[in-house]
Amino acid sequence: MLVVPLLEKYKKYLTWSYRTLGFFQTAGKFVFLFLLMILFNLYELAYYVPGVDKLSRSQTYLNTYWFNLCLMATGALFLTLLISLIYRLFGRRSKFNLINLLETSFPEFRTRLSTAYDNSHNINIVTKKLLEDVHSQLAGIKVRKIVPKDQIFRSFIIFLLVSGAATFCIYEGFSFNVSPGQLLDNLWDNVHNMNARASYEENEEVVPDSRYKVEAVVIKNGEQVEMEINPTMGLGFTSQIDADTEQRFNESSASFNENFKHSQTYSENLPEEYEPLIKQYFEELSSR
């Protein structure tokens, strides 16, 4: 039992040191997040929460500026707690272990300290000698050497600097010319416009090419059948004509040559349903 009381004493001393370090680290995260919210006017995001705008107008304790600061402080506190919780649950750093810390900081202990602690209730000639030796070594170390003084000091300085910057921004009303609410509104409008355009393009009807006044519907077996191939798409009659045909088109209808030769882009393998369209096409040409 010689080792256990001394370990408890060291543990109490070091636990307060690491708690102090944790406090300044957590406070530094909070102030940093609070400063970011002030600089980028992130209080506007809180007004998207139902009821916040009504609360802002109904409360009479704070003016709008200080009410918005309270909103940002609440948001920074929530994010700080969330980050700390995630880090505690998924962080790689193990819990505070005094024996591992002492054996790492003082190599002379190596595994002797953990062995002595594990056998502190199993007293015999061997373990008694081990406990006496380890107790003597523990009493002679300077536990202050393993206090994280540098980390505590660095965290404290960062906390002071960020707190000073946040205080300056609060009393000077300084922030960047950024409106996250306006950015969200613009993003929402762009998404809405894109959806509306996509919906319009899906519902938009394709207007048949009326250059030849040919309807894209034919009658087959007493039923109307919509053409799957438009005559102007290059698979039937197309606008691609040779030079000789173009010259004949430019002549007046009175001098139209009845021996007109059709374009070479005409396909001989068209379905029989296209015969009325072919006839209508030539009738339109001859009437010009």
Question: In the numeric block, which tokens belong to residue 50?
Answer: 């139902």
pLDDT for the residue 205:
53
Q: Positive or negative, the Cα torsion across 138, 144, 150, 154? A: positive
pLDDT for the residue 262:
46
- Cα–Cα distances (Å) from 26 to 12, 61, 152, 153, 158, in that order, read 21, 29, 12, 14, 11
pLDDT for the residue 237:
43
pLDDT for the residue 106:
87
Domain range annotation of the chain: 3-199, 217-286
Nearest to 225 by CA among 212, 234, 215: 215
> Is 141 exposed, middle or buried, given 0-12, 13-18 or 19+ CB atoms closer than 10 A?
middle
pLDDT for the residue 156:
97
Residue 246 pairs in a beta bridge with: none
pLDDT for the residue 172:
93
- Helix, strand or coil, per DSSP, at residue 185: helix
Write the pLDDT tens digit of every residue in 130-153: 888 888 888 888 888 889 999 999
How many Cα atoms are found within 13 Å in the side-chain-facing hemisphere of 152? 12
CA distance 145 to 142: 6
- HEC per residue, 33-48: HHHHHHHCCCHHHHCC
Write the pLDDT tens digit of every residue in 165-218: 999 999 999 999 888 877 777 777 777 677 666 666 666 555 555 544 445 555
CA distance 259 to 153: 103
Question: How does pLDDT run along the chain (288 residues), one tens digit per residue?
Answer: 578 888 888 989 899 999 999 999 999 999 999 999 999 999 998 998 899 999 999 988 899 999 999 999 999 999 999 999 998 888 755 577 888 888 888 888 888 888 888 888 888 888 888 888 888 888 888 888 889 999 999 999 999 999 999 999 999 999 998 888 777 777 777 776 776 666 666 665 555 555 444 455 555 555 665 555 444 444 444 444 555 555 655 654 445 444 444 444 445 566 666 677 777 777 777 766
